[in-house]
Each structure stands twice: as structure tokens, then as C-alpha cells.
Structure 1
Amino acid sequence: MPEPCDPTLVAALSQVDTSTLGHWRLWGLCDPALRPLAPGMKACGTIVTLALPGPDGALLHEVLSQVRAGDVLVIDRLGDTRHSAVGGVVAAAAALRGLAAIVVDGPVADLAEILAAGLPVWARGTSQRTTRRLGLGGRVNAPVSVGGVVARPGDLALCDGDGVVFLSPAEAARDIEMAQYAATREAFIREGLAKGIALNDLLSPPALAGSR
């Protein structure tokens, strides 16, 4: 398993919204079709990756015995859009391991059971067609493509109601600082709106200079 990211960094990044990062990041932003299974889900943690071939879920079951509390399991389904690799039993096992979340580039099954397990999951919807234990293999902790973005083991995943972002620890440290400035700027703008100032005026360079 990859080296866990600094817990202090994870805690700070978890306070940031993915849409805040979307104001300046041009990379690391997953396809918005990857959605949380329920409103209010949010997670942040060290990425563990898995590339899983279409109808086979055997390697996923092995990986679930190795993941650690706070990890985010990111699953590349290698283009498969029909088979659900994550269901109620997998979600229960992952939750008991303390997994922070699962991000799967494909559908899931047993929606009610996953929600009952309390595990945050981001996926492309649901499917009644499930994987089997076929032993076709796959890859663990190699770079994968999920939501059109490369996810690397040991990097960070930030997931919320607006989507999923993958970023390195170094990028996260910089983005946390930028998010703090963005929060100050937004508070300034909202205060101005409450005073009746036009949004266009508040967004002018002289006005924004006063928000620093």
C-alpha cells in the first residue's frame, strides 16, 4: 500500500469544496458523471488504486483485506459500464476496514445496502448485472484512469456533492492556501451584495484588491 498522506494535510483539504478548486484547477477534475450515491457525502484520503477487468471482482475482494482506515479506493473498470463491482457486501467490508470512500468508474448494485453501510461511494449509477470471481487479474496500486483523470496511488482524492478531484500532496498544500484566500474573497463579495453593491462592481480589480 502507498505511504499514507499527512493526516493534518488530509484534514485541511477535507474542509475545501471541490467546486472551489474548480475555480483555478484545469486538471485532476473527474468527469461530473461520477456522482455520490446520496446527498451530503464528502470524503478525503490517500488514494489506493485498482484496475479491475469487466466481469471479474476477485481482485477487489483481495484488496479489501489490505486497505487501511482513511484510504480512498479508486477503481478503474477498464471501460466496462455494465457490471457493478461494488455492492452491499463489498461496501460493508470496506466500511468495517475504515475506508474513507470508494470511487468507481462504473455502476454499483445494492444501492440501499451501500447507503445502510454508511460508506461514501461515487459511481456512474447502478446496475443489476454484477461481477463474479473469475480470477482474470487486474492491477493494484498502479496509475489508473478514472473519470478521464489519472489517479496515482499515494495522491489525494477529494470527493463531495459536486464531484471528485485527484491531486498530489504538494498540489493540495498549495490549493489549501488558495482556498483560504478564496473564502476571504467570497465573504467580501457576499458582504458587499448585502449592502446593495452590484456583483460586477464587486468583481472589479480595485474592489477585489480591498478584499485581501
Structure 2
Amino acid sequence: MASLNEQLATLVDNYTACDVSDALLKLQKVPKVPISPILGRNDATGKVAAPATTFKFLNKGDNPPAIAAENPERHGFPPGKHWVDYTGDYAAEDPSNAGSIVVIEQPSEQHCAVTGGIMAARMKVLGIKATVVSGRVRDVRELQATGLPIWARSTSTVGTGAEAQAGARNVPISVAGITVSPGDIIFCDPLEGVVAIPRDLLSAVLETIPKLISMDDKAKEAVSQGMTVTEAFKTFRS
């Protein structure tokens, strides 16, 4: 059986976020849409995939989730250390040596940023492969200068301390209605978007994608020869 790193290389070298989403729609009983961030899309940088390390932000002054309060050393933020200093912990403990992608959940009603230039620089030093923010970032020019791939829903000029605080880490989080758990595979396609693959579905996704691509290739060829899309879908996709 292929190692995790071999599977991730296959994913990055051969497929797109759209391919992965199509496979997930076939495999999951409840279809889940991909993450569709605005900031970070381009046609120049490479794709990247790695296990997720997760961070949940709260409204300023809110009490942390019970799991963080009960086990701060693993899921919380003990005093004396900034939240971003914990971003390398998951990869350091993961025997796969596949690295990690930071995924951040931010309350939707907030207008501040939860990641900026300093945080990105620190994550880069800690070996983070990319960052996905279900919320806002700032210092866009500084973010770009770090070379760390970053995807986000929006931007802000306002710093984190205005509204937000880090509440928990290495816990399941919600990103665009999708539950992302620590260790799930995050596939960042710079042009198409970001997809979260449940860890236990990665092998099945990689087995399913070539079959779907073959069907689509046949459908495209038939359409180019004059067949209607309805006929092509019925013939090759049913």
C-alpha cells in the first residue's frame, strides 16, 4: 500500500480540486462542497496537500470550549505562548512526516483578521505548508512576501485583538459547513480552490478519480463530435 506521502504526491501531481470534489460526491452519503476561498487563487503557484492542523477562534471574551479548558496542553493555549507558536505541533508528532496545513475557523460575524504578516512568517519558520482561513486575513503584501500559500474568504485592516481570540486547537472545526478534523487531508489547488478529504477516504478518492476522469474524457470527445450533453451524460456517466 502506498504511503501517505506517496498518495499526496499522486494527488498533487495529477489531479485538481474539481476531480477530488467529484470523487467525494460519489463516495459520501451526504455530499460536502469544497472550500471556495477568494484570496490566494492564482495560476502560477503549485498545488499542495497535507494533513490539517486545526484552530478554532472565538469572539473576544468568550469562554474556551470544554475540551480546551480540560486539556490546555493539547487543545488549549496555556499562558505565555502565542497561538501561532503551536501551529507546528501536529506535524512534529505525526509519524507520516507529511507536514501540515493550518486550517482556521473564524466566527462569521467578525470583521477582524485572524492571520497577518507576523503569523505567516512564524508559520513559515515552523514548516507549515499552507494556511486556509475560513475568515479574514490582513497584511496581504507581507503574506505574499513570506511565500507561504494562504487561502482566505476575505481581508481586513483590523487586527485580531479587536474582536477575536484563539479558543481551541487540534479539534474538529467547521469550515463553510464542512467538518474538518485534525489529520484530514487538505488539498489546495491554486486555481480551483480548496478541498478537505476525510483521512479515511483518501485511498478511495484516489481510486475513484481516474474512473471519473475517463468517463468525462469520453463524454467530452463525444460532445466535440456532435453528441448532445444530455446524450453524453446518459451514455458515459450513468
Q: TM-score, normalised by structure 1?
A: 0.80
Look up the equivalent residue of 2:89 and give its one-letter code: Q
Aligned 1:122-133 pairs, distance under 5 A: 122-132=151-161
Question: How far apart are residue 106 of structure 1 and its match?
Answer: 0.8
- What value does the CA root-mean-square deviation take over the aligned residues? 3.0
- Cross-structure match for 2:9: 11
- Cross-structure match for 1:46: 51
Are 1:64 and 2:87 matched, yes or no?
Answer: yes
Q: Distance in 2 between matches of 1:153 and 1:183?
A: 29
Q: 1:74 to 1:148 in 2, by over 3 A?
A: same
SS at match of 1:176: helix
Look up the equivalent residue of 2:56 and give its one-letter code: A
Q: Distance in 2 between matches of 1:126 and 1:159?
A: 19
Task: String of CA shifts for 1:51-107, please: whole Å, max 9, x gaps.
Answer: 123459974322235354730111112345311121112222222333221111111
SS at match of 1:53: strand
% identical equivalent positions: 23
Task: String of CA shifts for 1:150-190, please: whole Å, max 9, x gaps.
Answer: 11001111222333222222212111111111121222223
Q: TM-score, normalised by structure 2?
A: 0.72
Are 1:92 and 2:140 matched, yes or no?
Answer: no
Match of 1:192 among 192, 213, 222: 222
The alignment of Structure 1 onto Structure 2 pairs a total of residues equal to 202
SS at match of 1:107: strand
SS at match of 2:33: coil
Aligned 1:137-152 pairs, distance under 5 A: 138-152=167-181
Structure 2 gaps, min length 5: 62-76, 92-97
Q: Distance in 1 between matches of 2:152 and 2:197?
A: 19
Greater helix proportion: 2
Look up the equivalent residue of 2:49 and give its one-letter code: C
